[in-house]
Structure 1
Amino acid sequence: MDAEQWIDRFLMQMELERGLSNHTIQAYARDLGRFNLYLRGRGLDLGGLTQDDLNAYLVDLGRGLSFRSVARHVSAIRVFLKYLVRHGVISGNPARLLDLPKMRRKLPEILSLDEVDKLLAAPDGRSPKGLRDRAMLEVLYAAGLRVSELIQLRTFLVDLEGGFLRTMGKGSKERLVPLGVRAVEAVRGYLQGGRPSLRKGPNSPYLFLNMRGGRMSRQGFWKLIKQYGRQAGIKKEITPHVLRHSFASHLLEGGADLRSVQIMLGHADISTTQIYTHVTRERLKAVHEKHHPRP
């Protein structure tokens, strides 16, 4: 069996056994597809692969990709070759001792409280579309959801009386996240005055519908949030993840403990959440330098 067939089998197992998202599976497919092209172009086969071969591949990648992208490729190759060892295709994993490129951790972009207020006020609440968009933005910021979690949110998973929602995160792990009063009010307004007008044909289980009555897509929401960012006069690059970053940073600035923020974000490792403590420190330093008489 050639490398391409093993890659297909590996991707199928990742999807079925680990419950990874389509986005993650597609990233694995792209990275391993590029790796396969490299092997074929140099006449290399999986059975004879060495660490020197992999180091040469990383050098090749480094000519056109960022450190972060190269690190992602290394991660994909490691997992794939480990899978091949388990299935007896190769006797050892030549990627086991492969060094990840060293990266300077980039602090995430976040919005100020004033910018969040402007963004959430941008949709026109007099139309069904505006009611939907405001509700989506309010929920995204109130619960710190990933965009995939937001668009896949089903109506029955939102408890407006209790003020929380249930969502399925990475690795098919379910978590409960509180909703604030404003998000609850925005969703109520959308359910009463927006969603009935957007619904076409049989009732969809999804909370947020597009103009054809189907589920809102990732691309559709990305376009919306960028449009409202421009409309609100915000100069920063606005993405759904910027609101998630802002949610976490604003909670910590307000005194929330790191463990609680980790649970709400659905991070498996608290070290992932700790990046927001660095963001908070940087913001405090900026405020100090701007306003202290002797910075």
Structure 2
Amino acid sequence: MDINLQQAFDLFIFDRETYCNAKTVKNYKNTLSYFFDYMKETYHCEICDIKLSDVTLMDLKGYVIMLRKRDKLSSHPYKPTEHKPITNTSIRTYSIDLRTFFNFLYDNDYMENNLMKKFKLIKRETKLVLPLFADEVKEIDTLFNLKTCTGLRNYCMVHLMLDEGLRSGDVCNLRVHNINFQQNHILIFDGKGNKDRIVPLATGLKKHLHQYATIYRPYTDHDYMFCSVDGAHVPVTENTIKCLFARIRKKTEITRLKPHLLRHTFATSFILGGGDLESLRIYLGHTSYDTTQNYLHLANTYNRMGSDVYRLDKIFFKTYYSVS
């Protein structure tokens, strides 16, 4: 049976929905849509009119070439004029999802030929990502008025990423009952990997989190830790955090500042403070050492340079050793 690309996509998504989380499925839909747009433009028809058997290795290679020439923000609603090419890392991610898609079709006998056998992935970029330095964190902290609900909330969200290594999604999904102020730890449900992990609660952050939870957090019918401040008191979203970081970037002019940079800074600081890779892997929620190992090299580089990278509170490590 020769199915078309639309049917192939529907079969693939149905399969992924049986065991992948919603965010992963959404990512597959987004990244594969780029390939389908390319195919529609190339074949001058909808993907429901393109037979799976008509897709060739040259189509896949042509798609990668198109990505390398495409502006990163070409589909942005405000049509920016600045030329920013898509990074090799992003192209590699799109290609990996494409490989997963076609491997699924081949493994389940929807295709006779394995197109991925001769499809080479572009090499990822090895850019050096600078962590936040101590003076930069001080500058960021001056923006938060800790005597207001919004200021204290924003400070806590930022430092959960900076001092605990949480992802922005972890911050949004954090529940009040997951913070154990007596035992000094936080239970994180990792939506990315559907697994729980425990991280030590930094002493300085503990005071501010407790203050927000007991004094400033509005009364709600839900248990999410952080709420909007518009009167609706709904849980904050990742878009809330993106907007917060956009304002911080504008006021501090730290252009490289993004939520993930804080997690990157935490990992580097953890190694610089004497933490071990296995504990770091667990705290970050990594399934393998591949990503975690990179921080050891970075920490050693900054240590030799004598760079004033933001350091975790020494008391954090006392808590860390008691939790380990």
Give the TM-score, by structure 2 length: 0.79
- Per-residue CA deviations over 1:107-134 (Å, capped at 9, x if unaligned) read 2231013322442353111111122112
Counterpart for residue 243 of structure 1: 262
1:204 matched to 2:222? The reply is yes
Counterpart for residue 178 of structure 2: 157
Instruction: Work out which of the residue numbers 141, 146, 171 in structure 1 matches 2:193.
Output: 171
Structure 2 unaligned segments of length 5 or more: list them: 44-49, 71-85, 308-324
Correspondence list, 1:140-289, <5 A: 140-169=161-190, 170-196=192-218, 199=219, 202-211=220-229, 212-231=232-251, 233=252, 235-287=254-306
Counterpart for residue 18 of structure 2: 16
- Pair 1:38–1:138, CA change in 2 (3 A): closer
How far apart in 2 are the matches of 1:191 and 1:66? 40
How far apart in 2 are the matches of 1:186 and 1:18? 35
- Per-residue CA deviations over 1:201-260 (Å, capped at 9, x if unaligned) read x521211101120010111112223434554x4534321111111100111111111111
Amino acid at match of 1:50: T
How far apart in 2 are the matches of 1:68 and 1:160? 39
Counterpart secondary structure, 1:17: coil
How far apart in 2 are the matches of 1:17 and 1:59? 32
Amino acid at match of 2:206: V
Counterpart secondary structure, 1:129: helix
Percentage of identical aligned residues: 25
How far apart in 2 are the matches of 1:6 and 1:156? 43
- Pair 1:264–1:146, CA change in 2 (3 A): same
Counterpart secondary structure, 2:182: coil
Is the 2:88–2:125 contact (alpha carbons within 8 Å) kept by the matching residues of 1? no
Structure 1 unaligned segments of length 5 or more: list them: 289-295
- Per-residue CA deviations over 1:68-88 (Å, capped at 9, x if unaligned) read 222112101111112212332
Amino acid at match of 2:245: I
Is the 2:8–2:52 contact (alpha carbons within 8 Å) kept by the matching residues of 1? no
Instruction: Work out which of the residue numbers 148, 152, 158 in structure 2 matches 1:137.
Output: 158
How far apart in 1 are the matches of 2:290 and 2:156? 31
What do you get for the CA RMSD once the two structures are aligned?
2.2
How far apart in 2 are the matches of 1:268 and 1:55? 31
Instruction: Work out which of the residue numbers 41, 47, 50 in structure 1 matches 2:53.
Output: 47
Give the TM-score, by structure 1 length: 0.86
| Greater alpha carbon shift after TM alignment, 262-271 vs 31-40 | 31-40
Is the 2:105–2:111 contact (alpha carbons within 8 Å) kept by the matching residues of 1? yes
| Greater alpha carbon shift after TM alignment, 105-114 vs 186-195 | 105-114
* Aligned residue pairs, count: 281
Counterpart for residue 25 of structure 1: 25
